[in-house]
Structure 1
Amino acid sequence: MEIAFITIYLCILIYTIFKVLLDTYSTPKTLAYLMLIMLVPFLGILLYYSFGINYRHKRTTSIGVNSQTDFDLSYKNKDVDNTEKLIEKSVDEILHFQPLVHFLKGLFQENLSENNFKLLINGEEKFPEVLKSIATAQHFIHMEYYDWENDIVGNKIKDLLLKKAASGLKVRVLYDDYASKGIKKNIVKELKNGGVEIYPKIKVKLAKFANRINHRDHRKIIIVDGKIGFVGGINISDRYDNSIDTGLYWRDTHVKFTGLLVHNLQRHFIVSWNTAQLEKLAYSKALFPTIELIENEDIRALGQVVAGGPIYPMSNIMLSYFRIFSLAKEKLYITNPYFIPNESIMDALKQAAISGVDVRLMVPEKSDSAIVGAASKFYFNDLLNAGVKIYLYKKGFIHAKTVVADGLVSVVGTANMDIRSFDLNFEIMSVIYGKLFAANLEQSYISDLENCCEIKKEDWGNINVFNRLKYAVSRLISSFL
C-alpha cells in the first residue's frame, strides 16, 4: 500500500514538474514553482494547481485568438496600405526609425497612416475633449476602460452616454470587471437600463478574492464614429483631474487623434467586443468610414498602434519598447510609473546609455504600491552604472506611460514596463512619428523634470544593506503580482 502511494505521488510529481517547465515562461516563477513542489511535499503540488495555473488565461486566450482570427478575415485588405509611400514621403520625419515601422507592420499588420494628433496633459485637458467628442457623435461610441469610478467625472460621462443612446446612437462599452467593480451596482445598471450595451471584458467571479494574477483589461480607449480616437494612461476618475481636489496631484498623458489610425484602434476594440459577449461585429463601412483629414490646430504626423495581451503570439508591447530603445541614437526620455523590466529591456537601456545615448527614466518618488516602488529601485544601481539618468517625480503621483526617442518617435499608451503589461494584461499604445509632436511631448517631459530629484550614482551606492535586501525581496514578490 505504501509503495503504491509513493509511486502515485512520484508520478504526479514528475508530471507537475514537466507541466511547470513547459507552461511557465517566466524564469523566476519557474524556479519558484519547482522549489515549492519539490521542497514542500503534497502541499506544494496542491498550491501550484490552486494558484500557479491561471485557468482563466486558457479560456481567454482561446476565445480571444478565435475572435482575432475571425475578425481579421473580414477586415483583411479593406483599408489601403500606404506604408511605403508615407515612409518615402516623410523620410525626414522618420529617419533611422524606418525599421521600427516595418517591425510593427510585420509584428501584427499595423499599417502606417497619416493623422492629426493632440497631446492631452492630465484630466484637465482630456475630459473636456472627451465630452466634446461624445457630444458631437452622430453614429456610434465605443469605449474600453480599465478603471471607471462612480464620481463627478464618471457620472458626467455616464449622463452624456445615456443622452446619446436615447437619441438613437449605438453605444458599446467594455470595462475591467475588477478595477471597475465600484460601478457595477450603479453606473453599469443605469447605462444598461438606458440602452447602452455594456459588458466586462472578462467576467471576474468572487471579485473580493480576485488578485492581480487574473488578466486585466488595462486599456483606456474611446472611438467616436470611427473617426476620432483616444488612447493613453488616464482612466475615468476624478483623481486625474487636478481641478477637482482629491488630495493628491496626478500627472498623466493621453492623446486624441483623427485619421486612419482610428481604424487600427477600432480593429482591436472589436476583437475585445467579440470576445466579451455574444453579438459579433464584422467589418462594415459604417464601423470603418472613409476619413478625410482636415487642417486644424492639431499636429499632423504619422502613426501606428501596438496592441498587447495574452491572445497575441508574441510579447508585442515589450518587443516594441525594445525596438525603440535599440534604435535610439541621441536621446531617450522615458516616463513610467511601474518599472519592473525584464532582462531584454534592461539590456536595451544599458546598451543605449553606454553607446552615448542620453537615456532618462522618470518614475514616481512614492508609488501607489509599496512593493512595486521598492522592486523598481532594485534596478537603479545597474542602470546608473551604465549611465542612465534616473529622476523621481515629487509633485504627486506620475502615472504617464510615454517615450520620446531622438525627437522623432513618441509613444503614448497604457502599458507599464513590467511583466503584467508585457504578457498578462490587455494593453494598447500609439507610436507617433514626427518632429513637432515629439517636440511637444519632450517639452512636457522637460517641464516635469522641474518637479523631480535626480538620483546620483554616488548617493545610490551608499544605500544600506537593509534597503538593498528590501528591494531584492520586492523584486521577487513582484513576479507573482
Structure 2
Amino acid sequence: MDLSMVASVATTTWIVIEYIVKIIAVGVVPENRRPSSSSAWLLLILFVPIIGIPAFLLLGSPYINQRRARIQAEANELMHEGADDLPDVPPSLVAAPEFVSVAQLGRALTALPMVTGDSHGVFSDYDASIARMAELVDGAEQYVHVEIYIMAWDSTTDVFFRALERASARGVEVRVLFDHIGSRKYPGFHKLGKRLNAAAIEWHLMLPFIPWRGKTRRIDLRNHRKLLVIDGKRAMMGSQNMIDSSYLNRKNSQIGRSWHDIMVELSGPIVAGIEAAFSTDWYSESGQALGIRPYERDGNEPEVGGATSAMQLVPSGPGFTTSPNLKVFTSMMYLAQERLAIVSPYFVPDESLLAAVETAARRGVEVELYVSEQADQYMVDRAQSSYYRSLLEAGVRIFLYPKPAVLHTKCFIVDDIYAVMGSSNMDMRSFGLNYEISLLTTGGDLVGDIIEVVADYQDLSRELTLEEWEKRPWRRRYMESVMRLTSALQ
C-alpha cells in the first residue's frame, strides 16, 4: 500500500470519526444545559473540534464527583431535619405573600428556612473589616471556623492571622479552608500552609487539583464563599477575600487599584446556617464530620425590627443541581415595583436574569446597575459590557464606579424593603460553577445599612448614557461579542 493510499484512508477515517463525534455532541451537549451554553459548546465543537472536544471533556460537565454530590445531599437532609418544625418565615415578620413565596422557594431549594438574625454592622472599609474579624477571633473561646476563597498572609492580613495564632495557642480549635486554585497564584501560597501548621491550625484546600496525589476534578470549579464563624455565636460573611486590597499586584499598587467590598457581622439563629455551610465544606475536604448544629429553639426568638432582621441563607454551587441563587435572585427581581439596585463586579447574566432586569425597567421600575468602570479581568469586562446597550435601551441606569478601583461588592436591593448580599456575582460562573453563599434579608436595619452603602457608590460613580456608549469603536464591539460567546461555555 503506497503512502497516498494510507493518507487517503487516514483522512477518510478522521472525517468519519469527526462527524460521528459531532452527531453525538448534538445529542449529548444540550442535556441539562442552558440553551446559550449549549449553543456555545456546539459551535466550538462543530467548527474547531480539535479544541472543542478536549475542552468539553475537561470542562463540559458542571457536576462534581459523586462523593461531593453525596455529601451535599446528606448535608441538605440534615439541615432539613434540623429545621423541619420551623415555619418558612419568622412568625413576627409582616411581609407580602409574594415575598413569602420566594422564601418558600429558597427553603425548597436549600432546606434552609428564613429565621431571625441580628446585624452588628456592614463593613465597607477594607482594612476595618479585617481588623474586626481579628477582634472577633481574639474573643473566641471554643472554636473559629474560617472559609475564604482567596487567602494570603501579607502585611494587611497579618493582624488576622496573628489573631488565629493567638486563638490556637490558648486552646481554641481553629479550622481554615481556602480555595486551591483561587489562592495559589498569590505570593506566599506555598508558605501559608507551613505557617498555619506551625501555629497548630487545622487547614485544608478547597477543591484541590493535585493529579499526582489522586485529587482531580473539573479544573474551573471554585469555592467562592467568604465566611467566619466564632463559637457558633457570631459570624461574618460577604464579598471580601483575606488578602491585601491590591491583591499583591505591583501594577495595581502603582496605579492605585484596590478592591472595594462589604462584609456583615451577624449573630442569632442565622449563624447556625452559616456554620452548616462551613461544616459541609469541611467534611468534603477533610472527611471530618463536625455535625450540623440545629437552629436555636429557646422560645424567645426576638421580633423582627431594628437590629433584628428576617434572614435566609442561600447557599449554592455544583452540589446543588437547581441553581438556588439564580432562582431566588430572579424571583426577587420580579417582585420589584419601585426600585431595583444591583451591585456586581461581574454582570454576565443568563437569559432568565437578564429578562427579569430588563422587564423590571420596562414596566417602570427604577433599575440601577453599579459596575466597575474597568473590570479587573479583560474577558469579563468585555463580556459584561456587551449587555450595556440592551440594558440602556430598556431603561436601566448604569453607574460606572471610577477606575482604577474595582467594585467587588455583590448585593442588590428591591424597593428599599428587601436586600441580598454575599459572595455571588451576577454571572453564569457564580450560578453554575462556584460554591457561593448569599443572604436574603428584610424587616430590620440591615437593609437600610446596605442602602447607605449603595448610595455612597452612586455618589462616587458616573452614569453611562446610551449616546456615549454608541460611540465606542468597532474593535471593542467585536471583542464584546466574542467574549459574550465564550462566557457561555460552562
Band the TM-score falls in, shorter-chain normalisation: 0.7 to 0.9
> 1:226–1:289: 8 Å Cα contact kept in structure 2?
no
Matches within 5 A, 1:394-433: 394=402, 396-433=405-442
- 1-structure distance, mates of 2:458, 2:427: 23
RMSD: 3.1
> 1:155–1:187: 8 Å Cα contact kept in structure 2?
no
Matches within 5 A, 1:52-201: 52-54=56-58, 60-79=64-83, 81-84=85-88, 86=90, 88-91=91-94, 96-117=98-119, 118-181=121-184, 182=186, 183-201=188-206
> 2:146–2:227: 8 Å Cα contact kept in structure 1?
yes
Matched, 1:434 2:443: yes
- 1-structure distance, mates of 2:60, 2:388: 35
Secondary structure at 2:222 match in 1: coil
> 2:77–2:111: 8 Å Cα contact kept in structure 1?
no
Cα shift readout 1:98-157 (whole Å, capped 9, x = no counterpart) = 222122112212111111112111323311221111111111111111111231233322
1:472 to 465, 481, 484: 481
Matched, 1:352 2:337: no
The structure-2 alpha-carbon separation of the partners of 1:69 and 1:213, relative to structure 1 and needing over 3 Å to count, comes to closer
Match of 1:454 in 2: 463
Secondary structure at 1:175 match in 2: strand
Question: How many Å apart are 1:9 and its aligned residue?
Answer: 5.5
The structure-2 alpha-carbon separation of the partners of 1:319 and 1:79, relative to structure 1 and needing over 3 Å to count, comes to closer
1:379 to 376, 387, 398: 387
148-157 or 128-137, which moves further after superposition? 148-157
- 2-structure distance, mates of 1:343, 1:56: 19
Paired residues, what number?
Answer: 466
> 1:227–1:259: 8 Å Cα contact kept in structure 2?
yes
Letter in 1 for 2:102: L
Letter in 2 for 1:203: P
Match of 1:248 in 2: 257
Question: How many Å apart are 1:313 and its aligned residue?
Answer: 1.4
Secondary structure at 2:168 match in 1: helix
The structure-2 alpha-carbon separation of the partners of 1:212 and 1:11, relative to structure 1 and needing over 3 Å to count, comes to closer
2:285 to 273, 276, 279: 276
Question: How many Å apart are 1:276 and its aligned residue?
Answer: 1.0
TM-score w.r.t. length of structure 1: 0.88
Secondary structure at 1:475 match in 2: helix
Match of 1:48 in 2: 52
- 2-structure distance, mates of 1:435, 1:16: 51
- 2-structure distance, mates of 1:184, 1:96: 47
Letter in 2 for 1:201: M
- 1-structure distance, mates of 2:316, 2:308: 26
Cα shift readout 1:427-481 (whole Å, capped 9, x = no counterpart) = 1111111253222211221121111110123333344433322321221233348
- 2-structure distance, mates of 1:34, 1:306: 32
Matched, 1:335 2:339: no
The structure-2 alpha-carbon separation of the partners of 1:11 and 1:390, relative to structure 1 and needing over 3 Å to count, comes to closer
Question: How many Å apart are 1:28 and its aligned residue?
Answer: 4.1
Letter in 1 for 2:313: V
State the identity as a percent: 25
Letter in 2 for 1:202: L
Cα shift readout 1:322-364 (whole Å, capped 9, x = no counterpart) = 0111111111111101011111111101111111111100000
> 2:61–2:218: 8 Å Cα contact kept in structure 1?
no
Secondary structure at 1:114 match in 2: strand
Matched, 1:326 2:334: yes
Letter in 2 for 1:216: R
Cα shift readout 1:384-416 (whole Å, capped 9, x = no counterpart) = 111111100016221100111111111110111
Unaligned runs of 5+ in 1: none
